[in-house]
Amino acid sequence: MIIMFEIGSVPLFHLGAKAKQNSWLAVAVGAAAGLVLLLLFLYLQKRLPESKLTGILRYGFGRIAGCVIGTLYSCYFAYESMRNVRDIGEMTAMTLLRTTPLFITMLIFILIACYATWKGAEIIFRLPEILLPNLMFCYLLLIFLFFALQRADIRWLTPVAEDGLLPIMRAALPDLISFPFGQMIVFLMVWPLWNGNGVPVRNTLWAYAGVSLFLVFMNALNVTVLGPSLAANSILPVLESVRTLAELKFIERLDILVAIMIFVGLMIKILLFFYCAVEIMANLTRVSVKWWIFIWGALIYASSFLERNFTQHIAIGLGPSLKVDILFQIVIPVVLAVSIALRQHFSA
């Protein structure tokens, strides 16, 4: 689930584009900083291994403040789910169903999320077990084709850090912590569902390390295929890279395969964010999960039309949204960790 979740909507963007040919280094810096944040999340979970995010917030901030902040987290997760619904709707319109109205495709994906959440966490977590091997096979196939057809030119990655490390750091921090690595905070709602003993620290760290290396490699691969300028200015850099394989006559419309791969990652993110938004409100209000599925489903679907077009959607997502992410992914968890540490120290 962690691997699928972290891949998610990343193929839609060229991360660290401000660092130009060093964008892959910016992603590596973001992943390293995200690891520190992940260790903070694991610390919080290990302090209260049986509690979900809502319980941790109430323990650290008190019942009233914890409930208020928990409600804000539910809205935040619902907002992230909405962004991915709009992403997948726009992707469908650009690649597969060009004449199908956006409101129909997004409604279908929202209904799928509602159904999966209705059936419970077990159904949601079974999906990556089925989809991940197929997704990895497709990525490996594409990587093989890029190199077999000599589409990748490693010279595009040079010179390395010609202006020093400062531009790389600026491209990575804080934006690449917020997206995609800081979004791991959502797992504070699902780690307690782990069937084993305690918190799955080792599994989480191995999965995080593996997917981080994969994202760094794919970022570098996009640069070697498209060049830093084209990769930075492409709306769908992975799709643009695949279109350079046009001379591959024995496979037609390889870009459809890439679109489906992106759909899979986006759907996993929609499901997990939606499930956690619903679970938080159900835990806080004692109202049935089924009611919150309808409430959040309707609100997410309606709010996905607020942005006028895909350009505005991307501008908000890579602009103001990343600044809000800092509050929920860094500021509140740090204050929460300090509060829990002091409380447990003085009560010992």
Write the DSSP string, 96-158.
T-TTS-HHHHHHHHHHHHHHHHHH-HHHHHHHHHHHHHHHHHHHHHHHHHHHHTT---GGGG-
Which two structure tokens, joined as six digits, stand for 40?
């903070």
Name the DSSP letter for residue 29: H
Split at pLDDT 50, 70, 90, the class of 121 is confident
Between 95 and 51, the more confident residue is 51
The answer to whether the bond into 101 is cis (omega within 30° of 0) is no
Split at pLDDT 50, 70, 90, the class of 232 is confident
Most confident of 63-72, 116-125, 194-203: 63-72
Split at pLDDT 50, 70, 90, the class of 252 is low
Q: What is the pLDDT of residues 61-78, one digit of tens each?
A: 999 999 999 999 999 999
* Of 36-50, 61-75, 129-143, 274-288, the least confident: 129-143
**Over the chain, what is the mean pLDDT?**
89
Report the pLDDT value the prediction gives residue 313, as an integer from 0 to 100.
Answer: 86
Q: Which superfamily is assigned to 2-347 in CATH?
A: Hydantoin permease (1.10.4160.10)
pLDDT over threshold 70, residue 37: yes
Report the pLDDT value the prediction gives residue 187, as an integer from 0 to 100.
Answer: 95
Q: What is the arithmetic mean of pLDDT over 182-202? A: 89
Rounded CA separation 147/317 (Å): 33
Report the pLDDT value the prediction gives residue 239, as an integer from 0 to 100.
Answer: 82
Report the pLDDT value the prediction gives residue 254, as an integer from 0 to 100.
Answer: 74
Report the pLDDT value the prediction gives residue 249, as an integer from 0 to 100.
Answer: 58
CA distances from 343 to 60, 67, 68, 151, 301 (A): 8, 18, 20, 57, 41
Most confident of 32-46, 147-161, 164-178, 190-204: 32-46
Contact between 41 and 187 (Cβ < 8 Å): yes
Q: What is the pLDDT of residues 322-346, one digit of tens each?
A: 889 999 999 999 999 999 999 887 7
Scan for tokens 């910016």, then name that residue. Answer: 26
Rounded CA separation 272/207 (Å): 17
Q: What is the arithmetic mean of pLDDT over 103-121? A: 93
Report the pLDDT value the prediction gives residue 246, as an integer from 0 to 100.
Answer: 67
Rounded CA separation 99/140 (Å): 32
Contact between 121 and 193 (Cβ < 8 Å): yes
Q: What is the arithmetic mean of pLDDT over 44-55? A: 93
Best CA proximity match to 242, nearest among 219, 218, 225, 224 = 225
**Virtual CA dihedral for 235, 241, 244, 250, nearest 10 degrees?**
-120
Report the pLDDT value the prediction gives residue 217, as an integer from 0 to 100.
Answer: 93
pTM over 0.75, yes/no:
yes
Report the pLDDT value the prediction gives residue 242, as an integer from 0 to 100.
Answer: 83
